[in-house]
Chain A
């Protein structure tokens, strides 16, 4: 029961409490304060009821206005969200079949046409009162086609730099009929444009005498004169002794081997030989990068009439269109060739970066997109002058060039820097621990490495230098920039000739027999083929170019064999470290690495310190075996007991799809068999025994 509010005083002074308590209880009740407010004790009247504040209609209107505004804003925001989700590709409404994709330039134009139509379709469902939000985004796509049109024009004749990334590459669904119409008109417009450009480019060429050289008809036509083409024409000639093969080289060179351009050619001491593109092999013998001597090839004029057939190379021309049904090829100088069997081996063009696409001439003359012989010669000249070179890209080409330049520039007192967005060299290929090790190795070759970075801005600096500004804020002033960020397959023929392009991997889509269409094959970097064991893929390695080229050549002479022999690849990081690999080698897959543990007896040839320790190249001779323990308990890797040599298995759904042989040689056939089996194993260490890691 509630007594007095002053409980505290009651407790504190019990005596007075008792006295007061007694008083409150009995005698003077009116002193007790029950805590009620002292409001007036008058009874309620009608005046206390709420009173009207004004017209109900006006208030209702005001409230409705507020609610309507909220509704409008809400609907507008929801509409914008749907639009953004659709444009960004997050959500696909599947209104109709997807659009045909032919190539970068055409695709974005079709998108803009379809996007505009898409906006008119989605307008009605949106609220009538909503703001003009859907309309404003439609205006921006309209501005973009102007850019892509101008980009499509120069892409046909000479492709020194690929066009900048297409705006929002998204599958924009739209009503089928409208898209098809738009697509047909767009593509025919672009085709006629590119053919016009091609013709105008050809008239500029002084090709008057050469036009008559190309025969009217040739049994075997090969477009592109790279590694795949060589393997193909050799296979063709082996089967068909008197075959007449015409090879069309866009680059204008006889076929040559590409790997030495980033490896052997940099390590030779003989400058004369390097200038002549000759290098020393492991067995000491010197050879040229060219596959065959000039004499090997039949002059183009004689091809048609030579009784025993031959192989002729047409240099500096490009095939712009193929009529696959009628088996005719149209060349950029206006001539035509009809063929029986054709192989497309157009390879690829190095990818560029947007910062360089928009850079001025004065910067671009110090930038190399490394791929061809002329790129090598240019870079070699720069290296000879002892300058500072920056390499952008941390994959195979970038890392190999970094090591090669590091070696070269020691003699000329230049320097090398390597910038890439991954955390370590080969970050997308090797598992993290090996990538870290590789990075240390590259550093020991004298390269300054800047990982986790990319170039945000590029400016010209004084003395003809280039200043690169990175996303981390760091600035680098360099003499020359090498860009090695990947390869874009050359698929311009697809759109003009009605060939399919693969959107996941890029390149021409072909089946397991490398056929794109009847009597038309594709091999090498440009072929996205179906690998019966590993699924559809596109491989950009030298051995694959040879294997696929040879297979295409055999199929062109009637074999009809599918791709079964798994190609391998290798990489050398300087003369001491190398690895071979086969299959799908992607660091995002789970891996199991089996390494040979160094014991007191075993001294790996390339002693590598465990990650985190500094690397000294001079300690190659003798491993510090005194610190090794022969313990069986798990412990951290010690000096000498580390990633000297081993096998790394890459697993996809527990099946081995890729293998890296780390400092292990002569074992590729075993690895090839394991991939071919496609089995899943319980204990990969047992499988690793097959490689006899510990024997040398």
Chain B
């Protein structure tokens, strides 16, 4: 059984587990806009997706986009095999910025960890502190 006390203008309620096992009398409405994923409903690529991390905004962003667009619309088999040119330009660009696009860097973190509010999976508040 829960109980409640009043401290001035603040009310405090202590609830037991049993009370909270029952389903809530109120419910939240459905989310009207689900967070956008990598591919938009019309098939276009969502460049602002946090999953892409800093790839689109970095110094090699344009090269990355060209390669990824080519891959996305590629109809060859295997997919993307006709995109060698853009990919090689991208890797060449990335090799000029090793600190940004490090291959197996333990010291450096991908920038995508810093974006907070968009992520639907907030694992822990201290991760938020790392993210943000």
The number of inter-chain residue pairs (CB within 8 angstroms) is: 199
Contact: A292 with B20, CB < 8 Å?
no
Contact: B20 with A689, CB < 8 Å?
yes
Whether a CB of chain A sits under 8 angstroms from the CB of B71 is no
Residues of B within 8 A of A668 (CB): 122
Contact among B57, B114, B128 with A580 in the assembled complex (CB-CB below 8 Å): B128
Q: A291-B111, A673-B31, A689-B23 are in contact. Are A637 and B14 (CB under 8 A)?
A: yes
Whether a CB of chain A sits under 8 angstroms from the CB of B91 is no
Q: A592-B11, A666-B124 are in contact. Are A239 and B48 (CB under 8 A)?
A: yes
B107 to chain A, nearest CB (A): 6
Closest to B96 in A: A295
Contact: A308 with B61, CB < 8 Å?
yes
Instruction: Provide the A130-167 mask, 1 if CB < 8 A to any CB of B, else 0.
Output: 00000000000000000000000000000000000000
Q: How far is the CA of A455 from the CA of B131 in the complex (A)?
A: 37
Contact: B120 with A293, CB < 8 Å?
no
Interface centre among A599, A666, A681 (most CB of B within 10 A): A666
Closest to A233 in B: B57
A434 to chain B, nearest CB (A): 9
B112 to chain A, nearest CB (A): 10
A223 to chain B, nearest CB (A): 20
Residues of B within 8 A of A579 (CB): 125
Contact among A235, A241, A590, A694 with B20 in the assembled complex (CB-CB below 8 Å): A694
Q: How far is the CA of A546 from the CA of B113 in the complex (A)?
A: 13
Contact among A242, A308, A542, A687 with B26 in the assembled complex (CB-CB below 8 Å): A687
B99 to chain A, nearest CB (A): 4
**At the interface with chain B, which of A100-108, A485-493, A566-574?**
A566-574
Contact among A260, A634, A694 with B5 in the assembled complex (CB-CB below 8 Å): A634
Closest to A544 in B: B117
Within 8 A of A (CB), among B37-80: 47-48, 54, 56-59, 61-63, 65
Interface centre among A264, A296, A554, A673 (most CB of B within 10 A): A296
Contact: B7 with A237, CB < 8 Å?
no
Residues of A within 8 A of B65 (CB): 241
Whether a CB of chain B sits under 8 angstroms from the CB of A594 is yes
- Number of A interface residues at 8 Å Cβ cutoff, please give it: 84
Whether a CB of chain B sits under 8 angstroms from the CB of A601 is yes
Contact: A292 with B56, CB < 8 Å?
no
Contact: A431 with B47, CB < 8 Å?
no
Contact: A546 with B116, CB < 8 Å?
yes
Residues of B within 8 A of A590 (CB): 9-11
Contact: B62 with A242, CB < 8 Å?
yes
Q: A291-B114, A542-B132, A546-B116 are in contact. Are A689 and B22 (CB under 8 A)?
A: yes
Whether a CB of chain B sits under 8 angstroms from the CB of A602 is yes
Closest to A570 in B: B125
Instruction: Provide the B6-20 mask, 1 if CB < 8 A to any CB of A, else 0.
Output: 011111111111011
Whether a CB of chain B sits under 8 angstroms from the CB of A287 is yes
**At the interface with chain B, which of A68-76, A195-203, A278-286, A381-389?**
A278-286
Contact: A565 with B24, CB < 8 Å?
no
Residues of B within 8 A of A593 (CB): 10-13
Closest to B102 in A: A293
Whether a CB of chain A sits under 8 angstroms from the CB of B84 is no
Within 8 A of B (CB), among A577-606: 578-580, 590-597, 599, 601-602
Closest to A278 in B: B107
Closest to B29 in A: A677
Closest to A670 in B: B28
Q: How far is the CA of A308 from the CA of B61 in the complex (A)?
A: 8
Q: How far is the CA of A592 from the CA of B5 in the complex (A)?
A: 10
Residues of A within 8 A of B129 (CB): 259-260, 263-264, 281-282, 570, 572
Contact: A285 with B117, CB < 8 Å?
no
Closest to A227 in B: B132
Within 8 A of B (CB), among A297-339: 298, 308-311
Residues of B within 8 A of A119 (CB): none
Contact: A433 with B17, CB < 8 Å?
no
Whether a CB of chain B sits under 8 angstroms from the CB of A429 is no
Contact: A282 with B126, CB < 8 Å?
yes
Whether a CB of chain B sits under 8 angstroms from the CB of A413 is no
Residues of B within 8 A of A235 (CB): 48
Contact: B109 with A287, CB < 8 Å?
yes
Residues of A within 8 A of B132 (CB): 257, 259, 542-543, 546
Residues of B within 8 A of A684 (CB): 13
A644 to chain B, nearest CB (A): 10
Contact: A690 with B59, CB < 8 Å?
no
Closest to B49 in A: A238
Contact among A281, A308, A543, A685 with B13 in the assembled complex (CB-CB below 8 Å): A685
Give me 13 other A-B pairs in contact (C-beta within 8 A), A234-B54, A238-B47, A570-B129 excluded.
Answer: A257-B114, A257-B132, A259-B132, A283-B130, A287-B113, A292-B111, A296-B59, A310-B59, A432-B7, A596-B14, A632-B1, A677-B28, A687-B24
- Interchain residue pairs with CB less than 8 A apart (27): A234-B54, A237-B56, A237-B57, A237-B61, A238-B56, A281-B126, A285-B109, A286-B106, A292-B54, A295-B59, A296-B59, A296-B97, A311-B57, A432-B7, A567-B117, A592-B13, A593-B10, A593-B12, A597-B14, A632-B1, A632-B3, A666-B122, A666-B124, A669-B122, A677-B29, A689-B23, A690-B26
Counting from the closest, the 3 A-B pairs by CB-CB distance are A632-B1, A281-B130, A237-B57
The residues of A with any CB-CB pair to B shorter than 8 Å are 233-235, 237-239, 241-242, 257, 259-260, 263-264, 278, 281-283, 285-287, 291-296, 298, 308-311, 431-433, 542-543, 546-547, 554, 565, 567-568, 570, 572, 578-580, 590-597, 599, 601-602, 632-635, 637, 641, 665-666, 668-670, 673-674, 677, 681, 683-690, 692-694
